[in-house]
């Protein structure tokens, strides 16, 4: 699931996971779990996060593979928050990494930037999220456009990218994603 911060990736990933009985894998949740449990990968992640640095792509991919290796057998999973960079996508493809995780479909939620800002500021009020201030939102957009937006081209070239209008209601967006996923599963 791809899209800018505030596009609804997490919401839609949870809905799709339930609807299609897939595992929802959130890298944010993986990082928090590993850090709270003090695993070697969590301790390594904390060493970056505590000094305000981004975790290396290899750490993110290793944490993902560690989780998937220990996960019960499932039909498939929805990745939420990974890949975030072209290097991570290449690593999932087995380029420069020992393991390969095939990506069969990528949903990209398209939402206008003004709407994204409104959603994130509203989310901050409703959920009390400290990472949804105007300054932090601007930095997240900057990171998204520099690092994650290029994934659209990467996955379009592979023929697995599907664009979804994320400017509608949660229900209508879900219905459109379901239509696309069902068509791909045939």
**DSSP for residue 165:** E
Which residues on neighbouring strands pair with residue 164, listed in sequence order?
Answer: 109
Calpha distance 95→75 (Å, rounded): 24
Query: Tens of pLDDT along 54-70?
Result: 789 999 999 999 998 88
Is pLDDT of 52 > 70? no
Q: What percent of the chain has pLDDT over 70?
A: 97
110: nearest Cα among 173, 157, 180: 173
Contact 109, 10 (CB under 8 A): no
pLDDT of residue 70: 86
Model confidence band, residue 127 (pLDDT cutoffs 50, 70, 90): confident
Contact 15, 174 (CB under 8 A): yes
Average pLDDT over residues 149-177: 97
Q: Which active-site residues does the annotation give?
A: 9, 84, 123, 129, 140
pLDDT of residue 131: 65
Question: How high does pLDDT run on average in the chain?
Answer: 90
Kind plus residue range of the DSSP H or E element containing 44: helix 40-49
Is pLDDT of 186 > 80? no
Contact 119, 6 (CB under 8 A): yes
Which residues on neighbouring strands pair with residue 55, listed in sequence order?
Answer: none
Higher pLDDT, 127 or 149: 149
How many CB atoms sit inside 10 A of residue 30's CB? 21
Higher pLDDT, 133 or 23: 23
Q: Is the pTM of this model over 0.75?
A: yes
Query: Tens of pLDDT along 74-114?
Result: 778 999 989 999 999 999 999 988 899 989 999 999 999 99
Average pLDDT over residues 157-177: 97
Model confidence band, residue 126 (pLDDT cutoffs 50, 70, 90): confident
CA separation, residue 15 to residues 51, 160, 166 (Å): 34, 20, 14
What lies within 8 Å, CB to CB, of 89 at 6+ separation is: 83, 103, 151, 154, 155
> Can you give the length of the chain in residues?
186
pLDDT of residue 184: 87
Higher pLDDT, 53 or 140: 140
């Amino acid at each position: 699931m791809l899209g800018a911060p505030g596009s609804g990736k997490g919401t839609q990933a949870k809905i799709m996971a339930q609807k299609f009985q897939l595992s929802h894998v959130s890298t944010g949740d993986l990082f928090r779990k590993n850090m709270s449990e003090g695993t070697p990968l969590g301790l390594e992640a904390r060493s970056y996060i505590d000094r305000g640095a981004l975790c290396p792509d290899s750490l993110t991919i290793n944490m993902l593979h560690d989780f998937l290796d220990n996960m019960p057998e499932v039909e498939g999973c929805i990745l939420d928050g990974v890949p975030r960079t072209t290097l991570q996508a290449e690593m999932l493809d087995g380029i420069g990494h020992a393991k390969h995780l095939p990506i069969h479909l990528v949903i990209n939620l398209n939402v206008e930037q003004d709407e994204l800002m409104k959603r994130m500021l509203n989310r901050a009020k409703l959920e009390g999220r400290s990472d949804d201030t105007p300054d932090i939102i601007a930095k997240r957009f900057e990171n998204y456009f520099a690092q994650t937006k290029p994934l659209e081209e990467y996955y379009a070239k592979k023929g697995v990218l599907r664009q979804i209008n994320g400017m509608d209601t949660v229900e209508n967006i879900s219905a459109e994603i379901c239509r696309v996923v069902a068509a791909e599963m045939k």
